[in-house]
Structure 1
Amino acid sequence: MARVTGPSMVPTVRSGDRLLVRRLAPGDEVEPGDVVLARFPARPDLLVVKRVRNAVDGGHWVEGDNPLVTDDSRAFGVAVVVGRVVGRLWPRPGALGPQPPTGGPEV
């Protein structure tokens, strides 16, 4: 389980949401569009909830759904995915909504 803090994934998840996360086993894959729990080698103390944009050499490029907040791969580079978000437990239990439209170029 992960607790969201901050606005980087608004509107998909909000600060205070509790998410159910399935830890990745060896060989598990994530796809572009998946919401994941990840770490950045450049910031090993930071554990983040982000959306996978692309697989890159040695990890994944992840970004928040809120383009105004840049605590993601745009600031810290390639991320190592720890787990895939399965759904929201609180305050609105259920699956996460679809990926919001983006205005910028794909990486």
Structure 2
Amino acid sequence: MPGREARVPWGIAEVTGPSMYPTLRHGDQLLVRYGAPVRAGQVAVLRHPLQQDLLIVKRLAERREGGWWVLGDNPGAEGDSRVFGAVPDELLLGVVRARYRPLGDQRSARAVLSWLLLGVRPVLAGSGAPSVRRRSLSRRLRAR
């Protein structure tokens, strides 16, 4: 993402699908930093290389010729570089900084406190499933 200037530095995206489980779950909301420097192990938001109107969330596994090799944290789910190859740099949009689960209908003090303690957490590099910690991540703006 060097040389790219983001118009809006922060955004929110919603996860759909199981490809990033257990790091991310269907329905999670993501805080995304657009234009941030990236490194292997981070979770990022990208345009799908074969369907560029679709946004995906994947873990950046490694740099390869042609771009980033990206993988989902759920090895049983499809839809990462094992299917479509390396993702060119220009399709990398931003880095996921945090995820939170929607608060839901309960608004009691206890429910809000529980949500603050358990429902919000940073998304760190290498925090994926044990078999994927050295690999990459996925998502879509209703992310898959």
Structure 1 length-normalised TM: 0.84
Query: CA RMSD for the aligned pairs?
Result: 2.0
Q: CA deviation at 1:96?
A: 2.5
Compare the two structures and name the one with the higher helix fraction.
2
Q: Gaps spanning 5+ residues in structure 2: where?
A: 1-11, 103-118, 136-144
For 1:65, which of 73, 76, 81 is the aligned residue? 73
Which residue of the partner structure matches residue 2 of structure 1? 13
Q: Using CA pairs under 8 Å that are at least 6 residues apart, name the structure with larger relative contact order, 1 or 2.
A: 2
Structure 1, gaps ≥5 residues long: none
- After superposing the two structures, state which structure 1 stretch, 62-71 or 76-85, moved more: 76-85
Measure the CA separation in 1 of the matches of 2:96 and 2:123: 9
Partner of 1:102 in structure 2?
Answer: 131
Aligned partner of residue 86 in structure 1, secondary structure = strand
How many residue pairs get aligned? The number is 102
More strand by percentage: 1
| TM-score relative to the length of structure 2 | 0.64
For 1:72 and 1:39, the matched residues in 2 are separated by 12
Distance 1:42 1:78 in 2: 11
How far 1:81 moved relative to its partner?
Answer: 1.4
Q: Which has the higher Rg, Structure 1 or Structure 2?
A: 2
Task: Name the aligned partner's letter for residue 83 of structure 1.
Answer: G
Select the residue among 86, 92, 99 that pairs with 1:88: 99
**Percent identity of the aligned residues?**
44
Tell me the SS of whatever aligns to 1:74.
helix
SS, match of residue 10 in structure 1: coil
CA contact (8 A) 1:43 1:76 kept: no
In structure 2, give the amino acid aligned to 1:99: G
Partners in 2 of 1:40 and 1:33 — Cα distance?
A: 19
